[in-house]
Every structure is written in structure tokens, then in C-alpha cells.
Amino acid sequence: MEKLAIYPGTFDPFTNGHLDIALRSVRLFDHLIIAITTNAKKKPLFSVPERRDLILQSLPDGSKNISVEGFDGLLVNYAEKKGSSIIIRGLRAVSDFEYELQMALINRKLKPNVDTIFKMSSEEYSFLTSTAVKEIAQLGGCVDGLVPPAVKSALLEKFNKYR
């Protein structure tokens, strides 16, 4: 049977930190679904279709074993619907731990067969968040090396519109 994992997140926008986690995770599985949450509490800068396009453009050519989808509702229900019992999450610093532990335990409570695997972020991206990237771009700073080129262009376009 195909080993399938789900990497959920807001990805508003997709950063090199997200890309690093996705590429290192897919090596462990036959297929990885990057699942974009549509019910984000914060108002996202990019729509789900925009975020999906940006992720697809950021993946290396020929990444046939990675797909990108939006989802709403409970993550564990989505995972079950997809036939996966593995959720991937990234950990940057100790500060991520408490929230991630809480989510992992809640998800396990909701569906005991669903397990969360944590991947440590690469050192160079351990400070990197989508929020920081948006702030830098909005203030006219350079996001080279922080986000894939397609995301950089999209940020420039988004913020130039409002200038």
C-alpha cells in the first residue's frame, strides 16, 4: 500500500523553510500532500488558489510525488478521507513546541490512529516565518533566500499594488 503523509499549514506564503520540510519529508513516503488550510483565523494575504499555484511553482521540476490541495474542516477528518494517518509538522524553535504538542495531542484524541511526525527546521531557516517574510516585503526589504523566486515575485506584485 502507498505510504502517504500530509503536511498541513497556512503557507501564506510558502517559504524556503516550508520547502525544506516538504522535500525532506517526501523522501520518507511514497507521496506527500501539502494541504493548505482554508479556515485560517488571520486574514490571509494570498487566496488558497494563489497559495497553491505558488507552492506548485516552488517545487522542483518533476515532483510527481507531491501534490497540493486546499482543505477545510478538521485536519484529522481530511487525513482520514485521504487515507493517511501521518501528519508532518515543522519545528523551528522551542517556542513552536507547546502549540505543536497541544495540536498533536488533540488530533490524537480525535483520531487515535493519526500520528504527527515533527521535522526539525534547517538551521538557516529556524528564524523564518511567513509573517516575517510578509513584513519584510511590505516594508520594501529583500526576501532573497527566504522564499522561492515565484513567491518573491508574487509578494512584490501584491505590495506594489498597495504602494
Does 161 participate in catalysis according to the annotation?
A: no
CA distances from residue 57 to 18, 128, 131, 149 in whole angstroms, order as listed: 14, 20, 20, 9
CA distances from residue 64 to 25, 31, 38, 85 in whole angstroms, order as listed: 14, 8, 24, 21
- Write down the residue that cell numbers 503523509 correspond to: 5
76 scored as a contact of ligand ADP (CB under 6 A): no
Does 42 participate in catalysis according to the annotation?
A: yes
Could you write out the DSSP letters of every residue in 77-122? HHHHHHT--EEEEEE-SHHHHHHHHHHHHHHHHH-TT-EEEEEEPP
Does 63 participate in catalysis according to the annotation?
A: no
Which of 92, 133, 152, 155 binds ligand ADP (CB under 6 A)? It is 92
148 scored as a contact of ligand ADP (CB under 6 A): no
Output the residue with the shortest Cβ distance to ligand ADP.
17
Among the listed ranges 48-56, 58-66, 86-94, 104-112, the one in contact with ligand ADP (CB under 6 A) is 86-94
98-104 contacts: CB < 8 A, separation 24 or more? none
Which of 33, 79, 121, 143 binds ligand ADP (CB under 6 A)? It is 121
Does 163 participate in catalysis according to the annotation?
A: no
Among the listed ranges 56-64, 65-73, 87-95, 137-145, the one in contact with ligand ADP (CB under 6 A) is 87-95
Round to whole Å and give the CA distance between 143 and 101.
30
Among the listed ranges 50-58, 74-82, 105-113, 127-135, the one in contact with ligand ADP (CB under 6 A) is 127-135
The residues carrying an active-site annotation are 18, 42, 92, 130
The residues binding ligand ADP (CB under 6 A) are: 9-11, 15, 17-18, 21, 89-90, 92, 96, 121, 125, 128-130
